[in-house]
Amino acid sequence: MRDVYDRNREEQVFDAGDRVYLSTQNLDPKHSGLPNSTKFGPKWIGPYTILRKIHNHAYELNIQAGNKLHPVFNTGSLKPYKEPSRLSRPHNVILADSTVGQLVRRLLGKRRQKQRTQFLVEWVGEEKPTWEPVENLK
């Protein structure tokens, strides 16, 4: 049974000094400093720094003194922290007709919302594709 469960699952491995988010799914709101309602609270809090590895599936986090939480958590409650990229817009380039624009790598999809057509555009120099109205692509 274990091999069937683990077939498509990667084991999360962190090192000391890595930053992670902590799931609020099993945290008591009274002790974590979250709003009283778990429905309207965040799903992940942090980022926290990993202080040390306890064993393969547990890590000690740098929890603030105000939180009444035990600092050791299972890897199932942790998610790697990714630095937000500040370069969210593609680079401007000078096009052949001497106007300024952005380079499109490829179009990934098309949708229609409220009588407006949008394309899923993968930009050159951009990580994530964005939905753009057809007027922006002319």
What is the per-residue pLDDT across 21-50, written as a single tens digit (0 to 9) for each? 999 888 887 766 666 777 777 889 989 999
For the chain, residues classed under CATH 2.40.50.40 are 93-137
Is pTM, for the whole model, over 0.75? no
Task: Region of 85 please: left (phi>0), alpha (psi -120 to 50) or beta.
Answer: beta
pLDDT level of residue 85 (50, 70, 90 thresholds)? low
Cis peptide before 47 (omega within 30 of 0): yes
Greatest alpha-carbon span in the chain:
63
Nearest-angstrom CA–CA distance, 124 and 114: 28
CATH for the stretch 93-137: 2.40.50.40
Contact 103/124 with Cβ under 8 angstroms? Answer: yes
- Grouping H, G, I as helix, E, B as strand and the rest as coil, residue 10 is coil
For the chain, residues classed under CATH 2.30.30 are 2-80
Rounded to the nearest integer, the mean pLDDT of the chain is 84
Q: What architecture is the 2-80 domain classified under in CATH?
A: Roll (2.30)
Nearest-angstrom CA–CA distance, 87 and 90: 7
